[in-house]
């Protein structure tokens, strides 16, 4: 089981678990957010990202902003003494893991998630045209 970092915030731990579950490196997430790797590494420790980057990270990992910030879904008690945010690392990584994706496919999916609806439509159209040409 992964070792917990002493000063890691709930959000930092959540980010680390989600990133590993999505088979991404810190460098890859930083590239997607257009920030330095060292900046992203701080997000996983104890520095809070900008609101814009929090929203991008939530979209990227397919979770709510509330879940990203507190490690629990909205409506769950974030102050419960008995509650350990996100449980054990390995169990949570498995829970959020993208099944059967290779690393390069996970990166493409990550980039895709942050596209605007208009750009997603363009990609769908291009893929459909390529598929039709190949048949």
Q: What is the DSSP string of the chain?
A: -PPPPTT--HHHHHHHHHHHHTT--HHHHHHHHTS-HHHHHHHHHTPPPPHHHHHHHHHHHT--HHHHHHSS-TTS-TT-TT--TTS-HHHHHHHH--TT--HHHHHHHHHHHTS-HHHHHHHHHHHHHHHHHH-
What's the pLDDT score for residue 26?
Answer: 95
pLDDT (tens, 9 = 90+) of the chain, 135 residues, equals 444 455 678 889 889 989 988 889 999 999 999 999 999 999 998 888 999 999 999 999 888 888 888 776 665 554 444 445 555 555 665 666 666 777 778 788 888 888 888 988 898 898 888 888 887
Q: What are phi and psi of 58, to 5 degrees?
A: -60, -45
List CB contacts of 53: < 8 A, sequence separation 6 or more: 33, 35, 43
What's the pLDDT score for residue 82?
Answer: 46
The pTM score is 0.67
């Amino acid at each position: 089981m992964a070792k917990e970092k002493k000063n890691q915030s709930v959000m930092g731990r959540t980010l680390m678990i989600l990133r590993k579950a999505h088979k991404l490196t810190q460098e890859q997430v930083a590239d997607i957010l257009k920030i330095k790797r060292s900046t992203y590494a701080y997000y996983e420790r104890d520095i809070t990202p900008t609101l814009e980057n929090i929203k991008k990270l939530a979209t990227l990992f397919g979770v709510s902003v509330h879940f990203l910030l507190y490690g629990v879904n909205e409506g769950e008690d974030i102050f419960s003494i008995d509650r350990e945010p996100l449980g054990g690392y390995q169990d949570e990584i498995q829970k959020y893991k993208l099944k059967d994706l290779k690393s390069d496919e996970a990166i493409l999916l990550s980039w895709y998630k942050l596209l605007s609806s208009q750009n997603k439509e363009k990609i769908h159209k291009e893929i459909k045209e390529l598929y039709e040409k190949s048949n």
